[in-house]
Amino acid sequence: DWQRIGTNYFVVFPEGVLEQAPQMHVLLSRSDSDTASAQVQRKVVADYPNVSAIDLSLVLSTFQDLFGRLAYVIRFMALFSIVTGLIVLAGAVVVSRYQRAEESVLLKTLGASKHTVLLIMTVEYLFLGVFAAATGILLALAAAWGLSYFVFEGPFVVAPGALATAFGVVTALTIGIGLFNSRGLYDRPPLDVLRTEV
């Protein structure tokens, strides 16, 4: 694989064949600052005139800048996707307000207390949040695996802490938005809801 920096093949010779041939050695070193790097280069060139010193700090800084910008774009797209998903989720919860009003009136008519209706809605939004979070995490893991395996050709690493945080935040937001959207539904007179349906 000539696109990678590494050994591509090995050639084995018996002893006594290549010992007198011209040889080249490559040595990499890291310095704490540009001044220290310049001092090392001057010292090497002065003591060993046949040694070439090449400063790769500019190349490394260019790569770091490039990868930093790439990481910024990826983070921005991830944040954009999360915000879009939350807006869609909030819209779905708001649209279902009328259905929750009907359910609340029906349960109230059957004798359910306000606490029972609130508990039923909380459990419903809990399951909705768990399903939304699990679906999002599975899709994100599949996309991350595809990128790491096919594009970056590197190992796939999972961050359990980030996944647990995302799962908890999405579930809590779903419950919070749902209960906020359902406030006051139990206090509405059943006749008003039935008239709205007609």
Q: Is the pLDDT of residue 173 over 70?
A: yes
Q: What is the pLDDT of residues 129-171, one digit of tens each?
A: 899 888 888 888 888 888 888 877 778 888 889 889 989 998 9
Q: What is the pLDDT of residues 84-141, one digit of tens each?
A: 877 887 787 777 777 777 788 788 878 888 888 889 889 988 998 899 888 888 888 8
Contacts for 127-132: CB closer than 8 Å, 24+ residues apart: 128/174, 128/178, 129/170, 129/171, 129/172, 129/173, 129/174, 129/175, 130/167, 130/171, 132/85, 132/89, 132/170, 132/171, 132/174
Whether the pTM exceeds 0.85: the reply is no
